[in-house]
Structure formats: structure tokens, C-alpha cells
Amino acid sequence: MPGIEGKVVVITGASSGIGEAAARLLSRRGARVVVGARRTDRLEKLASAIRAEGGTVEHRAVDVTKRQDVADFVDFARATFGRVDVIVNNAGVMPLSPLSSLKIEEWDRMIDVNIRGVLHGIAAGLPIMKAQGHGHFVNVSSIGGHMVVPTAAVYCATKFAVWAISDGLRQESTDLRVTVISPGVTESELAETITDDSARQAMKEFRKTAISADAVARAIAFAIEQPDDVDVSEIVVRPTASPH
């Protein structure tokens, strides 16, 4: 089934930023979207806006750190629309800090959301997609999946992991498509998870060149709209004005 029209697309972390922009764009392009995150008030507003434009959308609370939550979320999409064509494993957090700050709970949270969350999405979707004989995982990594900078050691480690898991899945699954999307600095609420003062200040400067979340959503749409025999395995989308 080429294109976007009619596809059932499940998106985690759709209550803001890139996930929200992807939901809006894909629904405008005719996808039936199922959006999840923890802030259901935001999801409700998004769903109303999409429906007001004539789109098809369902929403559900999901915490990607909880395996059963993600399984229920993906099952909900299948029960509602009869199949699951695409899962966008997008939910992520980025509480940057130097390792010496020992913000160990924040390290754990990044590992739980950014790595385990993606694995939970894969675990929930893989049996469904295998049974269907088709499916597409779009996993959101980062330019931080390609390089490391100070204060971002753990965040980058989680994004290297997303890259590795995705490429392994791609190699093992010649019947499914797997795409890694690696954005550079993008307008969103991501930097709000930073509690370290110096990292927060540095990020304010870094984010001045940010591209819109819609730019990343367009990259996601490009990967999805390719014919079934074409797997866009990775797209890196950066601000023109940034060296990183």
C-alpha cells in the first residue's frame, strides 16, 4: 500500500513538538492517526483540531516506559482501525547535564523513555506487523545519535541505541520497513526537561537556529509515502544555519 492515504499510523509522544506536527501533517495527508502520550488534555485538543480539519484520529494515554501501556496502546489502534501500518516511536526526553552532576535519576529516565520506550513500541508492533505481512517502524533518534557533546553523554547514548536497535531490526526484517529519523535542533518542548542550569543556558543559545517541528514531520511523511519496496533507512534533518 504505497502513499499515506488510509494508512493507520500510531505515534508516541504526540502531545507536543515533532509527534504533534507529524500527527497533524499525516492526518492532512489522509492517514488515520492514533496519538499517545501522558498529557491527555493536550491529546484531546490535538484530536479536536485534527477532526475539525476533517481528519481521522483517536487518542489514548500511554507511558512508553510501561510495556503493558504500550502494548495496550498499539492493540487499541489495531482494534479501532483493523491494522497497524506504521508506528512512530517518537517519545523522548533530554535532561542534559554533565556526568559529574550525578543526576542518576535523569539518566535512568532517558534510558527508560528513549531506549525502553522504543523497544516497547517494537515489541508491541512486531507480532502484529509480522502477521499482517507488512509494517513500518519510524524511530526518532537525533543528530545526538551520530555525535557526542559535553552534557549529552547519556542522551547521545540513548540515541546511538535507537540507531543500533533500528538498524538491527531493519536487517532482521526483510518484510518490514524501518526508518531512523535524526533531527538536528528543532522547535519543541524538549529543552524544558533540562534541570542543570549551565546545560539549560547553553541549550538556549544552541536552539536559536531551530527548524520547525513540521520540517521533521515532512521527513517522516517522505519515508512513509515511498512504495513498499523502498525503505528509507535514515533521514538526518538539520538547520541550514547550524554546523551540527
Q: Which three cell numbers stand for residue 110?
A: 532517558
Find the part of the chain contacting ligand NDP (CB under 6 A) among 22-30, 58-66, 75-83, 146-154.
Answer: 58-66
Q: How far is the CB of 217 from ligand NDP (least distance, A)?
A: 10
Considering only residues 7, 8, 65, 103, which one is a binding residue for ligand NDP as defined by CB under 6 A? 65
Map residues 187-226 to x or -, x wherever contact with ligand NDP holds by CB under 6 A. -xxx----------------------x-------------
Using CA atoms of 118, 124, 130, 136 in order, give the dihedral in degrees to the nearest 10.
-40
Residues in 116-145 at the binding interface with ligand NDP, rule: CB under 6 A: 140, 142
- One DSSP character per residue, 138-155 reads EEE--GGGT---TT-HHH
Find the part of the chain contacting ligand NDP (CB under 6 A) among 31-39, 80-88, 196-204, 225-233.
Answer: 31-39
The dihedral through the CA atoms of 122, 8, 222, 14 has a sign that is: negative
Q: How far is the CB of 4 from ligand NDP (least distance, A)?
A: 20
Considering the rule CB under 6 A, would residue 19 count as an interface residue with ligand NDP? yes
Considering only residues 8, 50, 57, 64, which one is a binding residue for ligand NDP as defined by CB under 6 A? 64
Question: Alpha-carbon distance 137 to 240, whole Å?
Answer: 27
Judge whether 118 and 158 are in contact, CB under 8 Å.
no
Judge whether 77 and 125 are in contact, CB under 8 Å.
no
Find the part of the chain contacting ligand NDP (CB under 6 A) among 3-11, 61-69, 121-129, 195-203.
Answer: 61-69
Count other Cβ atoms within 10 Å, centred on residue 161. Answer: 18
Considering the rule CB under 6 A, would residue 13 count as an interface residue with ligand NDP? yes
Judge whether 120 and 70 are in contact, CB under 8 Å.
yes
Of the two residues 129 and 219, which places its CB atom closer to ligand NDP in the complex?
219
Find the part of the chain contacting ligand NDP (CB under 6 A) among 15-23, 25-33, 120-128, 166-174.
Answer: 15-23
- For the chain, what's the residue count? 244
Of the two residues 62 and 232, which places its CB atom closer to ligand NDP in the complex?
62
Query: Residue 26 carries which side chain, given as an amino acid letter?
Result: L
Residue 47, CB-side half-sphere exposure with 13 Å CA sphere: 18
Question: Alpha-carbon distance 200 to 168, whole Å?
Answer: 33
Considering the rule CB under 6 A, would residue 179 count as an interface residue with ligand NDP? no
Kindly list the residues in this chain that would bind ligand NDP in the complex (CB under 6 A). Answer: 12-19, 37-39, 62-65, 90-94, 113, 140, 142, 183, 185-186, 188-190, 213
